[in-house]
Amino acid sequence: MSEARGRKNIFITGAASGIGAETARFFAKKGWFVGLYDIDSFGLKAIADEIGAENCHSAILDVTDRNAWGEAIAGFSEATEKRMNVLFNNAGIGRHGWLEDVPAEDADAVIDVNVKGVINGVYAALPLLKETRGARIINTASTAGVIGTPRLAVYSASKFAVRGLSEALDVEFSGLDIRVCSLIPWFVDTPILNMAEEEGSNRHMKDELLAGGLNVYPVSMAAEKVWEATHGKASSYTVGKDADQARFGSRFLPGLVRKRLLKSLPKRKS
């Protein structure tokens, strides 16, 4: 088994692709020991091979499975001498479309991964975090967790929950020397944007965003913000100027935001 050998470390869920994989690369280049966890075994192997076996520990992890969390934390603890500098709760899924077109089972899965998965991670990692001076929890939320986003309703609800959880725990854990913050990306070029509105459709969410003139930011920007969140004092960190504007608008111009959302909606097919 690879060992941290005194290096700072980060435990990353959803590490096989997107923001998780890019964050793993970024932190490894900074000399950190990286824990890689995902349900995608092929993606995990690819990123582990890329950053080097001596720089990481990886394992399959379904974040909705509490027993699996226990096993993952035990393996990471052995590799890091029972320390965890950063828990990056990043695993997430989405479903795009009108609510009535989203199967209830898909909605359940979004809540299970995006909300319950984060809570499971905090419970499982807390003993290690308590033993690590200045530890930090970073939870991936979304701009959809700042503004209720139509045709992403359940995903949006899940990310509001992540923000609320993060803010509450940051206060709760202040006496434990553990900071908790949220990452709030605008649309970032990750596999989640490959969501199709309908099964079998060749038109994905990213296509719709670009056609509507919306920005999609490179994943490297998100990784840089995770690094900033690891060392900063803010309660949340936005990714992209559009995320900053959305947060400002939700607070000071909610009526204007609603009008823009209404204007952006496509017509229902029936």
| Residue extents of the structural domains in the chain | 9-264
Q: In angstroms, rounded to a whole number, what is the distance separating the alpha carbons of residues 108 and 154?
A: 9
Per-residue pLDDT of the chain (270 residues; tens, 9 = 90+): 678 889 999 999 999 999 999 999 999 999 999 999 999 999 999 999 999 999 999 999 999 999 999 999 999 999 999 999 999 999 999 998 999 999 999 999 999 999 999 999 999 999 999 999 999 999 999 999 999 999 999 999 999 999 999 999 999 999 999 999 999 998 887 666 555 455 444 444 545 554 555 677 899 999 999 999 999 999 999 999 999 998 998 988 889 889 988 888 888 876
Specify the CATH architecture of the domain 9-264. 3-Layer(aba) Sandwich (3.40)
Structure tokens at 160: 């509001």
Kindly list the catalytic residues: 155
The model carries a pTM of 0.91
